[in-house]
Structures are given as structure tokens and as C-alpha cells.
Amino acid sequence: MTKKKTPPPTEDLPVSVEYKVEETPYEAVASICSVLVVGLFILTFLGQNFVIPSGSMENTLLVGDHLVVDRITLAPPTKWMPLVHYREPRRNDIVVFLKPVPDPDPVTGAPQYLFLVKRLIGVPGDHIHLRNGIAIINGVAQDQPHAQPTTPDNHNDFLDEFPSTLPSLDRGATEAWSVEFPSHIENGDLVVPPGKYFMMGDNRHNSLDSRFWGFVPRENIVGRPLFNYWSFETSEDQYEQTGIGNTLAWMGHVAMHFFTETRWKRTLHLIR
């Protein structure tokens, strides 16, 4: 008679135990640093904050508009970002660029190159002239409803019949542009040279633009504004004021009037 073997006792199934893992101070600092690095990368290479300091683009852009600027689309193509869509600047693009001639620093007097925002009017090879304020490019009058209209009250020969009247120092033009200007005139048109662009503000009678200081080199173009993320009622001379006292006073004004003087209708307004 054979004995039946007793099966070995079965083992209990493992019981899952949850442990609460607390983040160490080192990990917390690392997380914050990673967020800052990503944010810095975006602001440095992909986007940029830009504040409108003057009325040269009214009513498209107002003083106190805070814009997010796309720094990628109009940038020269790079091999390390092959999937990004690049394109050349086009007529009627609103672009941010470095002014091709420096201005003196209001405090030190040292030359500084300012960021400006204007509308691109002419690309390389374009023949441009204005007739009664209307831009005529390559013989075709342009439909530009964004531009300030010319009337008998605001008509100015230099601004509205450009380039029939030569730019000069007494009209606010730079000396270098006054000298260079005649070499770009053909049959009454201003001809945009290779690698250069012609910019004008939408507020045509209150804009220091290419009519006063000349063409913008391709490498000076930084990007194009995408949208207005915040707009606050601001006087045109606010951004000309310097000093810590003025800065603190302005910060206090913004804090006290944030809700009443924010232009809420312009929030997240797309730029065209």
C-alpha cells in the first residue's frame, strides 16, 4: 500500500504595500531648476516678450501692448531643428527687428541698438514709391487698410510722396541714409537691394521708419509677434523714463489700477 504524498503547503500571495515617498529638498530644487531651464530656453530660442513703447503702429498695436514674439519662423534655418517650419519674411508681415542704426543711451550716451516693431513693406528687388500716402509696389497700388489714411490736414510731401523728396537731417533722417539714399533711386522708385527690407509703421505720419534711416538687413530680423497676452493703458513717454524711483512708481500704479486700466478686449488678441 503506497502512501499518498501530502502536497507542500501553499505560500500566501504577496500583499502589496504602498509607501509614501517624500521629495527631498535636492529633488525639489532640481524640479524648479528644470522648469526654469525650459522657460529660459523658450524665451531665448523660441519666443520672446516684447512691449510696445510708442504709437508708431497704432491702431494695430497700442502703447502698453505686451506681445509674444515667434523667434523661429523667420529665423535662418538650422540643422539642429530640422522639423521646424522656416520661411522668408513677406510683405505685410509685422516683424520685430534690431534698428540698423544705433541710438545714444539716454543715461550714458553710448550707442545702443534698439528693438523695433514695424510692418514689412518691401522685400529685396521691390520698386517702391508712395503717392498721396498709398504704397505702390512694382507698379501696383497696395490695399493697406491698416495704414493711417492721408488727408489734406496731415499730408506731408516727404512722408506721403516718398521718395520724391530727399531725406535730410532737418527732416529727421540720419546722415548715413541721406548720403546713401540717391544710389537706390530708379525712375522715381526706391529699389530694395538684396538681403535688405523696407519697413514702415502703420501710423504713417508718426513713425520713424525706413524712410528716415534706411533698409533693415536680413540678419537684423528677430521674429514676428503672435498675440497680445496683456495690454495696459500706458502713456507714450512712460518707457522713456529712467531711474529706480520711476520704476517703483510705475509698478505701484500698475498694481493699483490693474483691473481698471487693463485693456481686457485685447487680451490674447492675434496680431495681423
The mean per-residue pLDDT over the stretch 49-78 comes to: 90
Check residue 150 and give its pLDDT. 95
**Does 70 fall in a domain?**
yes
Domain containing residue 143: CATH number: 2.10.109.10
pLDDT in tens, 121-142: 999 999 999 999 999 999 999 9
Confidence of residue 44 (pLDDT cuts 50, 70, 90): very low
Check residue 37 and give its pLDDT. 44
pLDDT in tens, 107-117: 787 888 999 99
Check residue 41 and give its pLDDT. 44
Check residue 75 and give its pLDDT. 78
Number of domains within the chain: 1
The mean per-residue pLDDT over the stretch 68-76 comes to: 87
**Does 13 fall in a domain?**
no
What is the extent of the structural domain holding 74? 47-270
**Does 215 fall in a domain?**
yes
**Does 120 fall in a domain?**
yes
**Does 229 fall in a domain?**
yes
Check residue 40 and give its pLDDT. 43
Residue 149: pLDDT above 50?
A: yes
Residue 80: pLDDT above 90?
A: no
Cell 503547503 belongs to residue: 9
Ranges 83-92, 188-197, 213-222: which has the least confidence: 83-92
**Does 29 fall in a domain?**
no
**Does 83 fall in a domain?**
yes
Check residue 36 and give its pLDDT. 43
**Does 109 fall in a domain?**
yes
Check residue 39 and give its pLDDT. 41
- Of 4 and 246, the one with more pLDDT: 246
